[in-house]
Amino acid sequence: MDRDDKGTIIIVGEEPNVIRTLTTVLENQFRLLQAPNTKMTMGLIEANHGAVELIIIELDLPDSNGYEFFDKVRSRPENRMIPFIFITPPIPTDEEAAHLAVGDVDYLFTPLHPAVVEARIQTQIALKKHRHNLDEMVAERTTDLVRARKDIVQRLTRASETRDNET
């Protein structure tokens, strides 16, 4: 697979063991971009507009909380479809459930296990592709329905203009 054909994943964080594990697991499958903070990450998102498949972010960063950054990125319509995976030490189940319920995508708990990393990332990439395909199908179907509606209105207009001599 050519480098240009690989999906882009942005890894946000500074923890050396996390970066090393993610790089080892993902470097042959994806184009990896790494940023130590959220400011640099915003620049990477903008520079790679539309090409970012996934953001993997440490939850606690020096310049921002991962949840705050998630909200900031998702506030822009062009970024709403980018999935996030948060890296964190294990958290209480009720906290994890609450965050998942409001739109957080997934978690990887430290220490990272390569098989779990790969499985979760492949799942998120597949889900993103399915969502994209569904969005395209909905857009195509909507276009077809708009076209059909215009055609029906034109036919009804012509039919109402045609007069029968007996009426």
pLDDT at residue 102 tops 90: no
Antiparallel, parallel or unpaired: β 31-35 and 106-109 = unpaired
Antiparallel, parallel or unpaired: β 106-109 and 84-88 = parallel
Q: Which residue in 23, 98, 19, 94 sits closest to 58, CA to CA?
A: 19
Report the pLDDT value the prediction gives residue 1, as an integer from 0 to 100.
Answer: 40
State what percent of residues in the chain have pLDDT above 70. Answer: 93
Report the pLDDT value the prediction gives residue 4, as an integer from 0 to 100.
Answer: 56
Q: Which amino acid is at 153?
A: V
Q: Residues 140-163: pLDDT tens digits?
A: 999 999 999 999 999 998 888 876
H helix or E strand, kind and range, residue 83 = none
Cα(73)–Cα(13) distance, rounded to whole angstroms?
16
Global pTM reads 0.80
Answer yes or no: is 101 within a domain: yes
CATH number of the domain encompassing residue 39 = 3.40.50.2300
Answer yes or no: is 29 within a domain: yes
Report the pLDDT value the prediction gives residue 25, as an integer from 0 to 100.
Answer: 95
- 132 or 8: which carries more pLDDT confidence? 8
Answer yes or no: is 16 within a domain: yes
Q: Residues 42-100: pLDDT tens digits?
A: 999 999 988 999 999 998 888 888 888 988 998 998 888 899 999 999 988 888 888 78
Beta strands in 13-151 (DSSP E): 31-35, 52-58, 84-88, 106-109
Average pLDDT, rounded, for the chain: 89
Answer yes or no: is 81 within a domain: yes
- In the chain, the N- to C-terminal Cα span, in Å, equals 71
Domain that holds residue 90: 3-131
Q: Look at the chain and report how many structural domains it folds into.
A: 1
Answer yes or no: is 138 within a domain: no
Cα(36)–Cα(100) distance, rounded to whole angstroms?
24
Answer yes or no: is 137 within a domain: no
Answer yes or no: is 163 within a domain: no
Cα(30)–Cα(124) distance, rounded to whole angstroms?
13
Answer yes or no: is 74 within a domain: yes
